[in-house]
Amino acid sequence: MSLAKFFEDYPDVRYIMYGGKGGLGKTTFSAATAYYLAKKGHKVLVFSVDPQASLSDIFERNIFGQGEVEILPNLYACEIDADRRIKEYQDEIRQKIRDMYGFEEIPEEIENYMQAASAEPAMEESAIFDEVVNIVVKGGYDYYIYDLVPLGHALYYLSMASVYDQWISKITRLREQMREYDRVMATVRREKELQEDQILNELQYIKGRINASSGILTDSRKTAFFFVLTPEEMIILDTKKAADMFAKFSVPIRGYIVNRVVPQELLGQNIPTYLRNRITMQKGFLEEIERSFGEKVLGRVPELESDVRGIPMIEKMAHAMFGGW
């Protein structure tokens, strides 16, 4: 099956993710897929969950922190400003604390804790995760394309939904138990009905958002995860290991796409020795990829003559990935 055939056969798949080690072409493939689907008439949003995002470089537009920017008709791109999201998140927490406890000013201990927590690396990833949930839950697009972080961080990102869900579930159960206890005590004291539990409502709101996000990540009907790899020994080994780990998180792996393949046809031409050796080396690793991943290999993308920057090169990459259309 080809990548284009995959999208024809699975029209319900709406969430597309490209993963793999850094520098293999995930961002390029994400941009080219967005271009292809937009040209097919679908409204598409491509966004990065990588703090070191490079969609701005690919599209040659400054989209960082600009929200959902229209690149072409039907094609939108977004790079999340994690620092700004952290500040907004802190402001939301401050306001909720004021509302819940009637404080005019946030106590110094709590303010100090919030400032310290914002410096933690995990806070940046959490802020991006939170913003991604906002984007996906809001809706409005036919396709969402995730440009994921490199493998190790991607696993962390994908596991965050599960970890958050377990943590929030535990806290929610404790709060519900406290709520039940308060209700009993109110009955004993013959007090009126308890006031609305704002903390419990907030926990249930957060849990609902996380469930919506994690449900998408693991829904094989709506979500497709593609590994990007190159014909190199270490890349193949890392991809095999990552595929096993991703499967443990129930991530629906739908295929593998091989990037930067030097055309075998060049062997019949007068080419430098190093290039001839590289083609021969790739031939062996391409055979290994076919043995390892079989029919899930959805495409081989040739090495292009230059880096993919700007719409003309994105279009060229889209044709290389999906064929003529």
Nearest in space to 240 (alpha carbons), one of 224, 254, 229, 252: 229
DSSP 72: E
**pLDDT band at residue 150 using 50, 70 and 90 as cut-offs:** low
The pLDDT tens digits of the residues spanning 250-303 come to 778 899 999 999 988 888 888 889 999 999 999 999 999 999 999 999 999 999
**pLDDT band at residue 168 using 50, 70 and 90 as cut-offs:** low
Residue 109's DSSP bridge partners are none
Nearest in space to 168 (alpha carbons), one of 133, 120, 194, 144: 133
Cβ-contact 269, 252 below 8 angstroms: no
Q: What end-to-end distance do the CA atoms of the chain give, in Å?
A: 16
Angle at 76 between CA 74 and CA 81, to 5 degrees: 170
**More confidently predicted of 164 and 240:** 240
Tell me the C-alpha distance between 3 and 12, whole Å.
15
The pLDDT tens digits of the residues spanning 179-236 come to 676 666 666 666 555 556 666 777 677 777 767 766 777 788 898 999 999 999 999 9
How would you classify the pairing of strands 75-79 and 44-48?
Answer: parallel
How would you classify the pairing of strands 69-72 and 75-79?
Answer: antiparallel
Long-range CB contacts for residues 208-212, cutoff 8 Å, separation at least 24: 209/133, 209/137, 210/133, 210/161, 210/164, 210/165, 210/168, 211/165, 212/133, 212/136, 212/137
